[in-house]
Amino acid sequence: MTTKYDIAIIGCGTAGYDAAIAASKTGLSVIIFEDKYIGGTCLNVGCIPTKAYLYKAKQYQMLQKFQMETALIDSLNLSAINASTKRIISRSQRAMENNLKAQNINVINESVSYFDSVTITTLSGNNFCFDKLILASGSAPFIPPSFHHLMSNPRVYTNETIFTLEAFPPSVTIIGGGVIGIEFAFFFSSFGISVDVIELAPSILSNTDAELIQEARKLLKRKKVKFHEGIQITEIGDDLSIILSDGTNINNEIMVIATGRKANIPAHSIDLKLTTKGFVETNDCYQTTFKNIFAIGDINGKSLLAHSASNQADQLIQYIMDETIPNKKSIPSVIYINPSLSSVGITEKEAKSHYKVTKIPYGLSGKAQAEENTEGWIKLITENKTLLGCHIFGVNGEDLLPICILAIDQKLNIEDLANTIYAHPSYCELLKVAFHAALD
């Protein structure tokens, strides 16, 4: 007799894992399928390894700043960075596996052959029945058709396969000037590697606050990164040479394609409706065209961010339990160069004429002065003592965002935030200064 589960989940990345844990804690029986690796893209070939790489770049940057010759310099070769990153991933995977086991969640490390509205069939032919299905199989790198013929070239990488690179190349071409492309531009250029970034759109980091984009450009140009924005590629050679529409010829040792993501949708025998961009279409409750099938995380294309996927998982399980309609929440974004670029809420470009824009320098922080991290600023966008947007260029800016997220979502009065006691010395004190300035 086939066991029927209350909840079946395809994919054990951020969305799937969090949904499984949340569902199990309510007493629901849960089965989760993962054929590749626990933790999904974020843990294994996305957020975590990228941030581990960027941390090493910041270490190298600091040592170079003070012209220090230490044993640490020798450990900052790519082979050593890869090894330490793998250890980080392995520890996190073990913790997740132990938690799944502790919650009595049935983990099936096998590929899903196909699914319908009541059954999942694995590649080996095993069938598993469910009451509700959650699709959380994430996304994969999107490769533009003009680059398909290069994908068998061992010198061409995606933002996922780049972690197999064993030694630093002398030069890199990065296709795509979004968050992923810019973070890798920072990483490679921090080690003195020549980098070209090619972006078809008029600007890198589209949809980011304009002043943050300017800071990213300035920072990376200091590292000799060359930007080619708002430009077409007219020719791509098998040797990775590129000719741009302005006649520029680029020929670097390796190429990293960072041109966005596409949904990972398991094979199915039902009429699952997709968006025009190929993601699974859902309503505000993450429900597909089938009432008992849901999609969360990258696969629905609402927000390709791990923290958003985690929130969707919590909201969905709450909806399944008591039909609570998910509230729309502000989603922060961070670009982890150094200093980082952190944002939540509306940009200055989106602000209406009567909104107030307040900007203060990082140098007003005693801790920033003490730690020689005075490069940067905080910009607030407010209306009638209510915060609508916050953009930060500065060290640890991402750690200041939660206060601003709460203020925006709960419509807190910034006068109360300004009069809150902040620890001294701390970077959080910058928010206190900014809130007071917004009230003037």
Q: Residue 61's pLDDT is what?
A: 85
* Nearest-angstrom CA–CA distance, 427 and 15: 31
Supply 214's token pair: 């300017």
* Nearest-angstrom CA–CA distance, 56 and 32: 34
Alpha helix stretches (DSSP H) within 249-393: 306-322, 366-370
Instruction: At 376, give phi and psi (nearest 5°).
Output: 140, 180
Q: Residue 327's pLDDT is what?
A: 93
* Nearest-angstrom CA–CA distance, 177 and 207: 12
State the DSSP code for 281.
Answer: P
What domains are there in the chain, each with its CATH number? 4-140+262-322 (3.50.50.60), 145-259 (3.50.50.60), 339-439 (3.30.390.30)
Q: Residue 69's pLDDT is what?
A: 58
DSSP helix/strand/coil, 359:
strand
pLDDT tens, residue order, the chain (440 aa): 578 999 999 999 999 999 999 999 999 999 999 999 999 999 999 999 999 999 999 988 888 776 665 556 666 899 999 999 999 999 999 999 999 999 999 999 999 999 999 999 999 999 999 999 999 999 999 999 999 999 999 999 999 999 999 999 999 999 999 999 999 999 999 999 999 999 999 999 999 999 999 999 999 999 999 999 999 999 999 999 999 999 999 999 999 999 999 999 999 999 999 999 999 999 999 999 999 999 999 999 999 999 999 999 999 999 999 999 999 999 999 999 999 999 999 999 999 889 999 999 999 999 999 999 999 999 999 999 999 999 999 999 999 999 999 999 999 999 999 999 999 999 999 999 999 999 99
Instruction: At 173, give phi and psi (nearest 5°).
Output: -105, 125
Q: Residue 29's pLDDT is what?
A: 97
Q: Residue 1's pLDDT is what?
A: 54
Provide the 10 A C-beta neighbour count for residue 254. 21
Contact in structure between 344 and 401 (CB atoms under 8 Å): yes
Q: Residue 35's pLDDT is what?
A: 92
Q: Residue 228's pLDDT is what?
A: 98
Give this prediction's pTM. 0.95
